[in-house]
Amino acid sequence: MTDAAFLDREGLKNNSGRLITQHSPLYGGSGVRGQRECLGFFGGTGGNPYIHVKTTAGGSSDRMHKFEYNGYTYAHLNVHNSVTFYTYSGTAVPYTPSLVNWGESTGGIINYYYSSSDDKVVIVLQVNGSYTGGFLYHQSGSTHADHAMDVLAVTQHASATSGVY
């Protein structure tokens, strides 16, 4: 019997569990490393266009993060944007964020905040509330590599763009 593989928000899996884990190779002894992880496909359901993705990234950890959204929306429009920021202890929100949109439509990543209960990074996506969506990626590299990223929880909301977690 063959063991089929499938992709979900936790990564590439077979019936035995996760197949692909984070990979940070060291090339040529230079110390330059990096990784890019797919956190999953996120789409709207039930008419709720705002998806809050709570990650394992801690707001008090000193790290640099890049999240990238690549999806589509109604009328065949491309949605593609990314946000880069630092998480530092003592900051109440992600530090020096840069949100760039190079798609044909608005949506995708629209907000980012620390959860109030456990200081985790939350990424807010805007999609059509009934269909369409896209993939969310996390990237790290160089001196800010070697930290795993995963999704702790996901919830959708009709109007809230912050404060759900």
Q: Within a domain: residue 163?
A: no
Q: Within a domain: residue 27?
A: no
Q: Within a domain: residue 3?
A: no
pLDDT at 33: 61
Q: Within a domain: residue 16?
A: no
Q: Within a domain: residue 68?
A: yes
Domain harbouring 91, CATH code: 2.60.40.1680
Q: Within a domain: residue 26?
A: no
Taking only the tens place, the pLDDT of each residue in 25-83 is 555 555 556 678 899 999 988 889 999 999 998 888 888 889 999 998 877 889 999 99
pLDDT confidence tier of residue 1, bands split at 50, 70 and 90: very low
Taking only the tens place, the pLDDT of each residue in 132-153 is 889 999 987 665 655 668 899 9
Q: Within a domain: residue 58?
A: yes
Q: Higher pLDDT residue, 16 or 165?
A: 165
pLDDT at 47: 85
The domain total for the chain is: 1
Cβ burial of 85 (10 Å; 0-12, 13-18, 19+) is buried
Residue 113 pLDDT greater than 80, yes or no:
yes
Taking only the tens place, the pLDDT of each residue in 121-130 is 999 999 987 7
pLDDT at 24: 45
48 forms bridges with which residues in the sheet? 45
Q: Within a domain: residue 28?
A: no
Domain residue limits at 126? 34-157
Q: Which residues contact 81 (CB under 8 A, 6 or more apart)?
A: 68, 69, 99, 100, 101, 102, 103, 108, 109
Query: pTM of this prediction?
Result: 0.79
